[in-house]
């Protein structure tokens, strides 16, 4: 498999999950500063011009939640998706929140051009993102993290996803130290071999 990614992006959740699953992959780095995600050759891989894109022998898969779910299916023995239906639903609840709300809040800082055309609108969205990301951190702190990980003691697909989103907080103007469960979660994640590997590979 080939993973198209850019440094620090949500694509790194896929890299962490692949390491957790013990699956080999070839990372292909895009330079966002050079706009490589906007070029026609990359649009042939992902017409949305976003990362991640995972190239498999069955085809190309995009959307972090779908990719993570597929990784759990490729490596069932890694136990990345709980067998208990309620726990699996709670894991997906967290992942849906990250995809639909926290990631979108984060995107308002740098990607205002998706929703508006005026510089004043971009400035307004960027300023507001400090509050919306603080709101996301508050929600994660109080309702998403049930222990060291999203599901409590059990590691799942939601954790790499949440780790990358939490990694954005400080840069988005959120005082992470105000959120002790998030601080402990980041610490627990950094203790895992999978996360140490993506840090060593300068992916995040």
Which CB sits closer to ligand GSH, 13 or 151?
Answer: 13
Among 49, 70, 93, 188, binds ligand GSH (CB under 6 A): 49
Q: Which residue has the tokens 């069932």?
A: 76
Q: Which backbone phi and psi does 152 adopt, to 5 degrees?
A: 95, -120
What residues are paired with 2 via a beta bridge? 26, 55
Tokens of 192: 């895992």
Binding to ligand GSH in span 68-87, by CB under 6 A: none
Among 50, 81, 108, 109, binds ligand GSH (CB under 6 A): 50
Which span (43-51, 89-97, 148-156, 187-195) binds ligand GSH, by CB under 6 A?
43-51
Tokens of 195: 């996360």
Shortest spacing between CB 72 and ligand GSH, in angstroms: 16
Residue length, the chain? 204
Binding status of residue 27 toward ligand GSH by CB under 6 A: no
Among 37, 105, 129, 132, binds ligand GSH (CB under 6 A): 37
Shortest spacing between CB 155 and ligand GSH, in angstroms: 20
Binding status of residue 12 toward ligand GSH by CB under 6 A: no
Which CB sits closer to ligand GSH, 38 or 119?
Answer: 38
Tokens of 15: 């890299």
Which CB sits closer to ligand GSH, 74 or 99?
Answer: 99
Among 39, 43, 111, 143, binds ligand GSH (CB under 6 A): 111
Strand 26-29 and strand 2-5: the pairing is: parallel
Nearest to 125 by CA among 138, 139, 107: 107
Buried b (16+ CB within 10 A) or exposed e, 114-128: eeeeeeeebeebbee
Which CB sits closer to ligand GSH, 54 or 151?
Answer: 54
Binding to ligand GSH in span 143-202, by CB under 6 A: none
Nearest to 51 by CA among 72, 36, 34, 71: 36
Q: Is the peptide bond before 165 cis (omega within 30 degrees of 0)?
A: no
Site residues (vs ligand GSH, CB under 6 A)? 9-10, 37, 49-52, 63-64, 99, 111
């Amino acid at each position: 498999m080939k993973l198209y990614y850019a440094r620090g992006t949500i694509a790194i959740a896929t890299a962490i999950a692949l390491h957790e699953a013990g699956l080999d992959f070839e990372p292909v780095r895009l330079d966002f500063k050079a706009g490589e995600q906007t070029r026609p050759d990359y649009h042939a891989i992902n017409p949305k011009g976003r990362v991640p894109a995972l190239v498999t022998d069955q085809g190309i898969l995009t959307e972090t939640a779908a990719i993570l779910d597929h990784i759990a299916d490729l490596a069932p023995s890694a136990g990345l998706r709980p067998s208990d239906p309620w726990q699996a639903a709670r894991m997906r609840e967290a992942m849906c929140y990250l995809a639909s709300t926290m990631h979108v809040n984060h995107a308002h800082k740098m990607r205002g051009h998706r929703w508006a055309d005026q510089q004043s609108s971009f400035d307004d969205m960027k300023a507001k993102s400090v509050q919306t990301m603080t709101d996301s951190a508050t929600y994660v702190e109080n309702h998403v993290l049930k222990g060291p990980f999203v599901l409590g003691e059990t590691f799942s697909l939601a954790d790499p996803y949440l780790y990358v989103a939490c990694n954005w907080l400080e840069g988005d103007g959120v005082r992470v130290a105000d959120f002790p469960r998030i601080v402990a979660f980041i610490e627990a994640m950094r203790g895992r071999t999978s996360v140490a590997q993506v840090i060593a590979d300068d992916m995040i």
